[in-house]
């Protein structure tokens, strides 16, 4: 029996974009899906516009403004599909995205999460998406994987965790979660930024991930993206890494986490100093230098530079 997908679209004050997101789902070549838009207390005309344009083609849930994690959880509660797909209200899908995932769901039914490549589109600067994709930027993805077949790779165990700790970027609009997984894990409402990293890192300790090496989504960049607040985002990412290290590690040694956490503190601190956030930057640098993991990373960097400068 073909898999059914529930597409959860959280929305807050994006009446000019959310309808585009819905249209990109309605244009899918794979027929078995439902669309659940969860409006997170918008003050614009998002709900009226969605109702007028799409009527019974979609399910619209309206809640008080509670954050994107609560909105996604509300979508999960209402979902009837075998798999939950997430699409941010400012993003778009390629028309065969669900067909692509459905083929791989059939081949790898034990996987807990599927994800694919995507490209960004800065709508403030250009009329077309960038040709460089997420995996072009983070090619070390393949170093942590096992080849399946064709354009598909699988990830599991400590290697998957290390991929995330190293910094491969997961975006909700590019991943699909088995509904049964949500019986164990939901989005954390207390995490207001980088909630996707928090969610995926916890899943990585228990489930197999499958990656499809195709660009099947466009992540639109604009002035109201909440990821623009890089200081809060970096703080939450580091806190999440420490939290998972201390509470969810499942036999993975703390030293493995630390070799990523403390050098990240150091690098982040240096970047803050360059951006004139001096007190915060020095604090992060000192935290980074409190672990021997940082010195090993620094030694590797200096060695590479010395070798590259040889005549």
How many domains would you assign to the chain?
2
Which pLDDT score is estimated for 226?
58
Residue 201 resides in a domain: yes
Q: Which of 213, 228, 243 corresponds to the end of one domain? A: 228
Q: What is the pLDDT of residues 176-200, one digit of tens each?
A: 999 999 999 999 998 878 899 999 9
- Indicate if the pLDDT at residue 90 is higher than 90: yes
Same domain as 208, residue 290: no
Same domain as 218, residue 72: yes
Q: What is the pLDDT of residues 118-135, one digit of tens each?
A: 999 988 888 888 999 999
Residue 241 resides in a domain: no
Same domain as 172, residue 258: no
Averaged over 261-279, what is the pLDDT?
Answer: 91
Which residues partner with 44 through β-bridges? none
Same domain as 48, residue 133: yes
Same domain as 217, residue 159: yes
**Which residues form the domain of 191?**
5-228
Averaged over 43-61, what is the pLDDT?
Answer: 96
Same domain as 183, residue 66: yes
Same domain as 258, residue 120: no
Averaged over 47-55, what is the pLDDT?
Answer: 96
Q: How far is CA 276 from the centre of its chain?
A: 29
Same domain as 273, residue 163: no
Same domain as 270, residue 149: no
Residue 239 resides in a domain: no
Residue 141 resides in a domain: yes
Which pLDDT score is estimated for 217?
98
Same domain as 218, residue 100: yes
For residue 181, give the nearest of 39, 65, 86, 93 by alpha carbon: 86
Residue 45 resides in a domain: yes
Same domain as 170, residue 33: yes
Residue 76 resides in a domain: yes
Angle in degrees, CA 40, 180, 107, rounded to 5:
115
The CATH number given to whatever domain includes residue 162 is 3.90.550.10
Residue 238 resides in a domain: no
157's torsion region: left (phi>0), alpha (psi -120 to 50) or beta? left
Q: Which of the residue ranges 78-87, 254-263, 266-275, 290-299 would you say has the lowest mean pLDDT?
A: 290-299
- Indicate if the pLDDT at residue 56 is higher than 80: yes
Same domain as 285, residue 176: no
């Amino acid at each position: 029996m073909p898999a059914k997908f529930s597409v959860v679209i959280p929305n807050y004050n994006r009446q000019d974009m959310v309808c585009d997101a819905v249209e990109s789902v309605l244009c899918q070549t794979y027929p078995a899906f439902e669309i659940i838009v969860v409006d997170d207390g918008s003050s614009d005309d998002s709900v009226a516009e969605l109702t007028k344009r799409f009527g019974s083609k979609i399910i619209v849930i309206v809640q008080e403004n509670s954050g994107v994690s609560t909105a996604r959880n509300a979508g999960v509660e209402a979902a009837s599909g075998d798999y939950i797909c997430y699409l941010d209200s400012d993003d778009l899908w390629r028309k065969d995205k669900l067909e692509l995932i459905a083929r791989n769901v059939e081949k790898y039914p034990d996987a807990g999460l599927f994800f694919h490549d995507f490209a960004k589109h800065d709508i403030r600067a250009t009329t077309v998406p960038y040709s460089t994709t997420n995996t072009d930027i983070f090619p070390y993805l393949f170093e942590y994987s096992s080849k399946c077949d064709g354009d598909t790779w699988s990830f599991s165990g400590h290697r998957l965790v290390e991929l995330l700790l190293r910094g491969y970027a997961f975006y909700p609009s590019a991943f699909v979660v088995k509904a049964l997984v949500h019986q164990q894990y939901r989005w954390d409402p207390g995490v207001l930024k980088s909630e996707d990293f928090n969610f995926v890192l916890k899943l990585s300790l228990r489930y197999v991930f499958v990656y499809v090496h195709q660009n099947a989504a466009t992540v639109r960049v604009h002035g109201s993206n909440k990821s623009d607040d890089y200081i809060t985002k970096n703080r939450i990412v580091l806190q999440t890494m420490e939290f998972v290290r201390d509470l969810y590690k499942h036999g993975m040694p703390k030293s493995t986490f630390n070799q990523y956490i403390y050098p990240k503190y150091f690098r982040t601190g240096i970047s803050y100093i360059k951006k004139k956030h001096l007190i915060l930057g020095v604090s992060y640098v000192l935290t980074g230098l409190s672990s021997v993991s940082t010195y090993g990373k620094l030694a590797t960097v200096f060695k590479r530079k010395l070798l590259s400068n040889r005549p």
